Structure 1
Amino acid sequence: MSKQSNQDFFGSSKVAEAKSFNIREFLNKLLYHWPLYIIFCVICFSIAAFYVRYKRPVYEIHAKLLIKDNQSEGKKTALEELNLTGSTNNLEAEMGLMSSIPVTKRVVESLKLWVSYFEPTKYYSYRDLYKDSPVDFSMIKPGEGQLDHVFDIIIADDKSFLIKQSGDKTTRFNFSNNIKTSFGVWRLDKTESFANYIGRTIRIKLVDPDEVVKWYQYQIHETPIPKSTNVDVSMDDEVPQRGRDIVDNLLISYMDASVQEKRESTHNTLKFVDQRLASLTGELNNVERKYEGFKSNQGITEIADQSSLFQGNAQDNQKNLNAINIQLSLIDGIEAYVNSDEGAMSAPSTIGLDNSGLTSLVEKLTALQLEHTKLLATLPETNPLFNPLNQQISSTRNALKQNLKSFKSGLQTTKRSLQNLGSGYQSSIRNIPGQERELVDIKRMQGIKENLYVYLLQKKEELSLDYASTISDAVIIDYAHNGNQKAPIPKSVYGIALMFGLLIPTALIYGRDAFKNRIQSKNSIISATGLNVLSEIVHSDDPDPIVVLHQKTFIGEQFRDLRTKLNYLHGGRSDGRTTLFTSSIAGEGKSFILSNLGTVLSVAGKKTVLLELDLRRPTFATRFKLDDKRPGLTEYLIGNATKSEVIQPSGISENLFVIPAGIIPPNPSELLESTELVQLITELKKEYANVLIDTPPVHLLTDAMIIAHLCDVSMYVIRQDYTPKHELEFIKELNAEKKLPRLNLIFNGVQSDKTGSNYGYQNNSYIKEARKPFKSRLKKFFSRF
């Protein structure tokens, strides 16, 4: 079989297995320490039983409250319609008021929760005497600073009591008398339960009320119920009656505070409305006076009538002006006729002319000119008959001109008057919209003030009704009642006790291993180094260093298994096999393993020699009880002895021989580098089937690496609960650098039950070991702790 196949045979599957978590190994390790688990379980269950027995039970207290939602009801109060409250009530706001300091403080003060009364019981515990106290504490005048005091009293008789002081001293006081102490002036009064407590001790505990308020704010919980406006109010208390009283008082105080808040808000709004009404009264009077003055100054009665009048007058004036213009037009025509040459124009029309004299003169002139025209048709113009006619025409024309001039002047004067009058009418008509607008603004302001005044008067009446009929928005559905017992719950307490009874020893076991920083399991070796553990050797308490000679022992079977694996490592060779044994530090058992392996090899008929190269701390002479007068390896290397002189029979088997170290030299490393050692090992390989070499710890000294090239296989010994974990990194580097040939690991001193490892043959009834001595069994039992 090749070297690579040997390595695969012993390593690959086990390395992979070591990298996964082994639940069986974990459980076996815990089961090894079963007495530790029993002790801690007993302790934890005892504590749990004591806790369940003497811990006062804590109960859940519940109450249910319905908070009305005004928005969902579609109704608004007068206050909400005025929008002076900021927002309507909602669930969160109401819950905030419920858990506010003023409401909680009212509960604390009404129930005097800042005073507690207790009676001593067994095991230094106290029974709460809520509603059952024989005395009632009253603070007359508190002292300076926070109130935080505890004192014990002894009820001496029906008239007096004793206050315990330091030591065994007591001071007597009478009931209902004022007592002055460091925390204030106070007194004690008797209650209905007083007669049952004469001669007994009562503890009174005083706490600052503000601190109590903070405490109950934390203890009381308001939880909205989904898809509703209901709120579940709950708290936990050792005294169910006190819990119910607190929750009920909280609900009543909250409802009172809610009503008071609404009344205060309504009262403030009423004051505001009254102030606004007084202001509006003055403003309304000012607007009305302004309206009256404007109409008086403008001479206005009604804008519409006055506008119609102005429009009618303007139309009449325009009609008259049009008539005058017609008259003037006729006058202009007559003037043109009068001023024209005779016969140049036809006679003008006088229809519509309002001057009869002027009309007659025009008609007369027209008739004279017609006559003159007729005469011209028969007579020459120089005829004396034309003279009187021409004189009449001239005189009529002159008269007509004078008459036209005076009449035209009158018409023009009348026209100017009508034009001025029409401009006045137009100006008045143009001023009417502005006056109307100003008057409308005044009337609008007057209407606004009147409407607002009437609205506020109406709301004042509604607010007054609201103030008189104010009720809370909350309704108590369920008053406070006891719920389930919250603590202690025996099943939970014992379950926690069991959990701690298992967790504490587990933490101690693994914590102790982590603190010790020693190698505990084969899997940790494989995971850290990547190397296979060739063999595990169980721990042995046998004082005899050669343990394989005893019949039917587990450790003997393990060494025989190692012998078989060694054959594979040497590739089936039967002669000249050289195996080096080393470790990280002293005391890991490499000499023990080498001695017992050499023994089982020799018993199998293999001629074996054990070579002790640990020249600094030799042990072979003592282990094999050799003759210490005979020379050893040191003497041979310095030339003071021959090979035959240093080889001694082991006295165990005829096939087992030992070469002890001999005297301790001053320069052991130099001796190991000598050619004599190389020659010796070469000769031993020819004479013996197995040469087993014991070397010093390789992490402390370089001796093993000096002779490593002379060996075929290296055995590296690691001892459970002894070898430090940091040595695994050194072994990994040693293997990576190939400083030792064919490196294999042996895990020594293994306590299988303690580490969780298991060996099939160890639990097999086929191999029966002799019963160990009582002392050994007792030591093993205590190791389980």
Structure 2
Amino acid sequence: MDNNSDNTFFQQDESHVDIKHEVKKYLRFWPWFLLSVFITLSVAYIYLRYSPRIFQTSTKIKILDESDGLELPTSAFVFKRSNINLENEIEILTSYRIIEQVVRELKLNTTFQEEGQIQTSQLAELPFRFDQHIQPDSITGNYQYEILVNDSNFEVKDVKTDEELIFQGHDSYSKSHNLPFDIKLNNHKILSSIKGKKYVVNLFPIKPAILRLKSKIKTEPIGEVSDLLMLSMTSESTAYSERVLDTLVSVFNKDGIYDRQKVSKNTLDFIENRFIFLAEELDSIEVNKKEFKQANNLVFLETDAELSLQKRTQSEEELFDIENQISLVELIKDVLVKPNTIGDLLPSNIGLENGNVNELISQYNLAVLEYNKYVSSGGINNPMVKQLSTTIDGLKSNINGSLLSYLNQLKVARKQFEGRNSKIRGEVGSIPEKEKLMRAINRQQKIKESLYLLLLQKREEAAINLAITEPSIKIVEYALSGSRPISPKSNIIYAAAILAGFLLPFGTLYLFFMLDTKVHDKKDVERVVKNVPIIGQIPEVKDKSKLIFEDPNDRSILSESFRILSSNVRYVLPRKDSDDGQVIFCTSTIKGEGKTYVSINLSLALSSLNKKVLLIGADLRNPQIHTYSTKDKNALGLSNYLYDTKIDWKQILIKGFKNHQTHDVLLSGSIPPNPAHLLTNGRFDLLIEEAKKLYDYIIVDTAPTILVTDTMLISHLSDIHVYIVKANYTEKNLLEFSKELNESGKLKNMAYVVNSVGASKSHGYGYNYGYGYGYSEQN
């Protein structure tokens, strides 16, 4: 039978991963997996038992756009937003200024906790009366006080100074102390439920409290085109979170209302100042009119100039409107030129008939409000503040330019009307000059009266606006907390614990297997060397007294394994036409892999088949065959024969095993100084040729291949090289060396034997040679 067929028979396809084999490696350690899962589940249970429960609280609000609602006649004085910018509203909601108002209103730089045996839980408030005397701004450091509730008193300890105070009757008001608060138990019915408990009061500066709350509040729009916002925060105490969110919404709403009320208030202040000036002018006109009539005896106009007077009256009315507009323009210009700060507002919609000027004034007031808001929240150096300052300056310049342009138009129109009036006055030249002066006085009086009435109306409108300012937001849903905590999630924790329970031992084993460099069975050999057959696996024998196959009829696991090996060796040996015996070299990569052990037992297994077998100890540097016999290490052997031509090798053979009569042994002999020279002097070749005529099998125990070249020097004499690999001893990287020997042809017709299989039960390699045949380890 040719070698190709042998290799095909003994070599398995390793192009795929043996899943069953890999799983069995890990399943052998199933107790460790169970223990690991038990430990991780226990840790998860303890964690869930004592970790704080975190709840989520949320509220929903709608940002109101006033243009969507019912417009009152006073809407000209209300701060209007035609478009809602939710990003701006979110920034304002979570701004330092708004959060600061919430912290100050709720005194959130004072926190309460209940101290348990293992964990401390947060409280929204203490179960008894607590009155804080120190103002939030006065707290400059961190202070902590522990309050222990006893049967008859409160025991308060200053953690910072270790000072302890005892308040009998659960009342601190009855005793003088230097604590920044007072406590009192008003309802003694709850004493039984809080007795023995310890509460912790923490006081810290207001700025850290603001920053801490600012980081906790999350604000996000609901939907992409909606004007709804959802505010949420997480905390151990749902009452604390709900109170904070509801207060935040209230503060934000009040802030928006205040902005719009400020516009109306500034308008009222402006009108009140103008009233004083107009009242003085009207009084002066009335006095002048009275004195003029008394001095000139004026009564009524004659009816004969009625038509001309009608024309003049119409012209004067038109001139009156122009004069009225000029007065209003001059009025606004007076406000513009007065020295004022950038945050002052301009009066809007006071009667100007120029739409461009009115629009600019509205834009100017909106910009001033935005400027004041960002200065309050971000400071004067805020980039948005600087941008708004530039915008306000530009708007003021535009307003001034528009007023000048409008004033020029009015003056041109007035000039035209005055020219026309001069023509009309020529037609009514019969009217006395004194009457003309009287009409001038009346005209001035009418202008001032109409302006006075107009401002009076606007003042009433602004006052109504101030009283009925619409809210900034609509609360869609008050702060609500979930019934179940969002953290920790027990199902996720337990799932992670189970996963970790499996992954920890798996990862450990995987790392151990990955770092393991030893060969454990034939699969490890097959992964590296794919074209060399593995003809046997020799199990590990614990009982050192049963290492040799002494009884040909033995039925132990060791005997059966070597019978299988001998059968496979005979199968892979090349077929010969002659009756000459066949030569089997047993070698290995390094010493200690069991080549001598395998050589002896393989020879005995072949001898048990009534075959004539010669065992030769060709490892001249480290002979070991003599240890399995009664002969001395220096007994005559192969080295003596190779060195001394007078010695006949047949005369120095021994019978090492009494139950194997067809088995002879040629020991290694004395250790020579030059083994390589002796093996290549020709006498070893002659010995093999002679032995092949006398024996069926010649088993040669050779030297390790990686240490010396002895084996390669005589390898041409072998029909098959049995290469020994020891489980849990041979390094996997050494297989590359044997692979190279085979591929280069230095060792022809190689076959592997894995020795001591089962030495590492940690890898799940177990083999029972007695399965199904009734064999056991008993002889």
Classify 1:128/1:458 alpha carbon distance in 2 versus 1 (closer, same or farther; 3 Å). closer
Classify 1:295/1:686 alpha carbon distance in 2 versus 1 (closer, same or farther; 3 Å). same
Matched ranges for 1:9-408 at <5 A: 9-11=9-11, 14=12, 16=13, 18-68=14-64, 73=68, 88-122=83-117, 124-132=118-126, 140=134, 152=146, 154=148, 158=153, 161-163=156-158, 171-172=164-165, 186-187=180-181, 189-190=183-184, 201-205=198-202, 210-211=207-208, 213-226=210-223, 229-260=227-258, 271-274=344-347, 287-293=409-415
Deviation at 1:505, TM superposition (A): 1.0
Kept in 2: contact 1:237–1:243 (CA 8 A): yes
Say which SS state the counterpart of residue 544 (structure 2) adopts.
Answer: coil
Say which SS state the counterpart of residue 274 (structure 1) adopts.
Answer: coil
Matched ranges for 1:576-591 at <5 A: 576-591=581-596
1:475 aligned to 2:475?
A: yes
Partner of 1:317: none
For 1:63 and 1:646, the matched residues in 2 are separated by 104
Classify 1:75/1:144 alpha carbon distance in 2 versus 1 (closer, same or farther; 3 Å). closer
Classify 1:771/1:608 alpha carbon distance in 2 versus 1 (closer, same or farther; 3 Å). closer
Kept in 1: contact 2:77–2:462 (CA 8 A): no
Kept in 2: contact 1:630–1:645 (CA 8 A): no
For 1:490 and 1:142, the matched residues in 2 are separated by 39
Partner of 2:512: 512
Classify 1:643/1:477 alpha carbon distance in 2 versus 1 (closer, same or farther; 3 Å). same
For 1:611 and 1:85, the matched residues in 2 are separated by 111
For 1:210 and 1:548, the matched residues in 2 are separated by 89
Deviation at 1:115, TM superposition (A): 4.2
For 1:559 and 1:608, the matched residues in 2 are separated by 15
Deviation at 1:711, TM superposition (A): 1.5
For 1:98 and 1:266, the matched residues in 2 are separated by 24
Which consecutive unaligned segments of at least 5 residues does structure 1 have? 304-453, 773-785
Deviation at 1:474, TM superposition (A): 3.5
Q: Once the two structures are superposed, what CA deviation does each residue of 1:622-660 show, in whole Å capped at 9, x if it has no partner?
A: 134444462232322322854135432221522333333
Kept in 1: contact 2:107–2:136 (CA 8 A): no
Q: TM-score, normalised by structure 1?
A: 0.65
For 1:97 and 1:545, the matched residues in 2 are separated by 90
Kept in 2: contact 1:247–1:480 (CA 8 A): no
Kept in 1: contact 2:585–2:720 (CA 8 A): yes
Kept in 2: contact 1:578–1:711 (CA 8 A): yes
Q: Once the two structures are superposed, what CA deviation does each residue of 1:509-532 show, in whole Å capped at 9, x if it has no partner?
A: 121222343334544432333345
Q: Once the two structures are superposed, what CA deviation does each residue of 1:360-379 show, in whole Å capped at 9, x if it has no partner?
A: xxxxxxxxxxxxxxxxxxxx
Classify 1:291/1:254 alpha carbon distance in 2 versus 1 (closer, same or farther; 3 Å). closer
Deviation at 1:709, TM superposition (A): 1.9
Partner of 2:449: none
Pick one of 730, 735, 747 that aligns with 2:737: 730
Q: Once the two structures are superposed, what CA deviation does each residue of 1:152-197 show, in whole Å capped at 9, x if it has no partner?
A: 565677466234579xx765487579999xxxx9556456589566
Using the TM superposition, name which of 21-30 and 549-558 deviates more. 549-558
Deviation at 1:570, TM superposition (A): 0.7
Kept in 1: contact 2:519–2:729 (CA 8 A): yes
Deviation at 1:714, TM superposition (A): 1.9
Partner of 2:722: 715
For 1:29 and 1:172, the matched residues in 2 are separated by 67
Q: Once the two structures are superposed, what CA deviation does each residue of 1:341-374 show, in whole Å capped at 9, x if it has no partner?
A: xxxxxxxxxxxxxxxxxxxxxxxxxxxxxxxxxx
Say which SS state the counterpart of residue 649 (structure 1) adopts.
Answer: coil
For 2:38 and 2:621, the matched residues in 1 are separated by 52
1:755 aligned to 2:763?
A: yes
Kept in 2: contact 1:133–1:193 (CA 8 A): no
Classify 1:646/1:510 alpha carbon distance in 2 versus 1 (closer, same or farther; 3 Å). farther
- Provide the aligned C-alpha RMSD in A: 4.7
Q: Once the two structures are superposed, what CA deviation does each residue of 1:10-31 show, in whole Å capped at 9, x if it has no partner?
A: 22xx1x3x23122211221112
Q: TM-score, normalised by structure 2?
A: 0.66
Deviation at 1:132, TM superposition (A): 3.5
For 2:460 and 2:642, the matched residues in 1 are separated by 126
Partner of 2:665: 658
Q: Once the two structures are superposed, what CA deviation does each residue of 1:195-235 show, in whole Å capped at 9, x if it has no partner?
A: 56666544455566555555555544445444755444444
* Letter aligned with residue 540 of structure 1: V
For 2:138 and 2:667, the matched residues in 1 are separated by 91
Pick one of 643, 650, 653 that aligns with 2:649: 643
Deviation at 1:62, TM superposition (A): 4.1
For 2:650 and 2:177, the matched residues in 1 are separated by 109
Using the TM superposition, name which of 696-705 and 191-200 deviates more. 191-200
Deviation at 1:716, TM superposition (A): 2.4
Partner of 1:610: 615
For 1:714 and 1:78, the matched residues in 2 are separated by 112
Deviation at 1:661, TM superposition (A): 2.5
* Letter aligned with residue 510 of structure 1: Y
Classify 1:621/1:258 alpha carbon distance in 2 versus 1 (closer, same or farther; 3 Å). farther
For 2:671 and 2:139, the matched residues in 1 are separated by 83
Classify 1:272/1:209 alpha carbon distance in 2 versus 1 (closer, same or farther; 3 Å). closer
For 1:771 and 1:106, the matched residues in 2 are separated by 92
Pick one of 599, 621, 630 that aligns with 2:626: 621
For 1:10 and 1:471, the matched residues in 2 are separated by 90
Say which SS state the counterpart of residue 544 (structure 1) adopts.
Answer: helix
Classify 1:243/1:259 alpha carbon distance in 2 versus 1 (closer, same or farther; 3 Å). same
Kept in 2: contact 1:119–1:202 (CA 8 A): yes
Deviation at 1:129, TM superposition (A): 4.2
Using the TM superposition, name which of 153-162 and 76-85 deviates more. 76-85
Deviation at 1:541, TM superposition (A): 1.9
Matched ranges for 1:370-519 at <5 A: 465=465, 468-519=468-519
Using the TM superposition, name which of 744-753 and 224-233 deviates more. 224-233
1:699 aligned to 2:699?
A: no
Kept in 2: contact 1:117–1:205 (CA 8 A): yes
Which consecutive unaligned segments of at least 5 residues does structure 2 have? 269-343, 349-356, 362-398, 424-453
For 1:482 and 1:465, the matched residues in 2 are separated by 41
Kept in 2: contact 1:553–1:767 (CA 8 A): no
Q: Once the two structures are superposed, what CA deviation does each residue of 1:303-352 show, in whole Å capped at 9, x if it has no partner?
A: 9xxxxxxxxxxxxxxxxxxxxxxxxxxxxxxxxxxxxxxxxxxxxxxxxx
* Letter aligned with residue 578 of structure 1: V
Classify 1:519/1:145 alpha carbon distance in 2 versus 1 (closer, same or farther; 3 Å). farther
Partner of 2:317: none
Q: Once the two structures are superposed, what CA deviation does each residue of 1:640-687 show, in whole Å capped at 9, x if it has no partner?
A: 854135432221522333333233333333333332222223323332
Classify 1:290/1:503 alpha carbon distance in 2 versus 1 (closer, same or farther; 3 Å). same
Partner of 1:527: 527
Deviation at 1:120, TM superposition (A): 4.0
Using the TM superposition, name which of 101-110 and 27-36 deviates more. 101-110
Kept in 2: contact 1:698–1:704 (CA 8 A): yes
For 1:547 and 1:267, the matched residues in 2 are separated by 114
Partner of 1:347: none
Q: Which of 1 and 2 has greater Rg?
A: 1
Say which SS state the counterpart of residue 273 (structure 1) adopts.
Answer: coil
Deviation at 1:708, TM superposition (A): 1.8
Classify 1:722/1:246 alpha carbon distance in 2 versus 1 (closer, same or farther; 3 Å). farther
Q: Once the two structures are superposed, what CA deviation does each residue of 1:545-571 show, in whole Å capped at 9, x if it has no partner?
A: 635568544444333222222122113
Kept in 1: contact 2:133–2:181 (CA 8 A): yes
Using the TM superposition, name which of 620-629 and 138-147 deviates more. 138-147
Kept in 1: contact 2:634–2:670 (CA 8 A): no
Partner of 2:547: 546
Kept in 1: contact 2:40–2:497 (CA 8 A): yes
